[in-house]
Amino acid sequence: LHGTYDNDNIFAKILRGEIPSVKVYEDDVALAFMDAFPQADGHTLVIPKGVTARNFLEMPQEKLGPYMERVQKVAQAVERALAPDGIILTQFNGEAAGQTVYHLHFHIIPRREGKSIGT
Ligand code: 5GP
C-alpha cells in the first residue's frame, strides 16, 4: 500500500508535459484529463499538482481540501457537459485495491441508464 513516490510515473509525466493528454481542466492545484482507456464515455481523471502522494492516504491534509474542491468542480462540469444519468467517483489505494498508477487520482465516470460499465 505504501512505497516511494516515483517521479517518472505516468501522471507525473503528464503533469510535466512529457506525455500528451486531453486536458479538460487545469489550475495551480489540479489537472483533469480524459482517461486513455475509458470505462465509459467521458471518463475523466483528476490529479493534484505539487504533491508526491501515491494515493489518498498519503495526501497532506492541508492540500486535501483544495484538491477535493477541484474534483467536485470537474464532476459538476462533466455533468453539465454530458448530462449523464449518474456519475461514479472512484479512487484506488494500493495494488490489491486495483491501483495501477501511483500518483493520487480520482476517476469521474459518467453512467447512463441501461449501460453497464466498460461499454
Ligand atoms: P487506477 O487503476 O490506478 O486507479 O487507474 C489508472 C487509470 O489511468 C486507468 O483508468 C487507466 O486507463 C489510466 N491511464 C493509464 N495510462 C494512461 C495514460 O497514459 N494516459 C491517460 N490519459 N490515462 C492513462
Q: What is the pLDDT of residues 8-48, one digit of tens each?
A: 999 999 999 999 999 999 999 999 999 999 999 999 999 99
Question: Which residues lie across from 46 on neighbouring strands?
Answer: 32, 106
Element (H, E) at 70: helix 61-82
91 close to ligand 1 (CB < 6 Angstrom): no
Q: Which domain holds residue 52?
A: 10-111
Structure confidence by residue, pLDDT tens digits, 50-89: 999 999 999 999 999 999 999 999 999 999 999 999 999 9
Query: Residue 2 domain-assigned?
Result: no
- We report the CATH number of the domain holding residue 64 as 3.30.428.10
59 close to ligand 1 (CB < 6 Angstrom): no
Query: Residue 117 domain-assigned?
Result: no
This model of the complex carries an ipTM of 0.99
Choosing from 14, 99, 101 the residue with most ligand 1 atoms within 8 A of its CB, the one to mutate for a pocket test is 101
Q: So what's the pLDDT on residue 66? A: 98
Query: Residue 59 domain-assigned?
Result: yes
User: Would you state the cell numbers that stand for residue 62, as one nine-digit string?
Assistant: 492541508
Distance, in Å, from the CA atom of 77 to the CA atom of 31, rounded to the nearest integer, reads 14
Distance, in Å, from the CA atom of 93 to the CA atom of 21, rounded to the nearest integer, reads 23
52 close to ligand 1 (CB < 6 Angstrom): no
Query: Residue 38 domain-assigned?
Result: yes
Q: How many domains does the chain have?
A: 1
Query: Residue 1 domain-assigned?
Result: no
Q: So what's the pLDDT on residue 118? A: 66
- Give the pLDDT mean for 91-106: 98
Residue for grid cell 517521479: 7
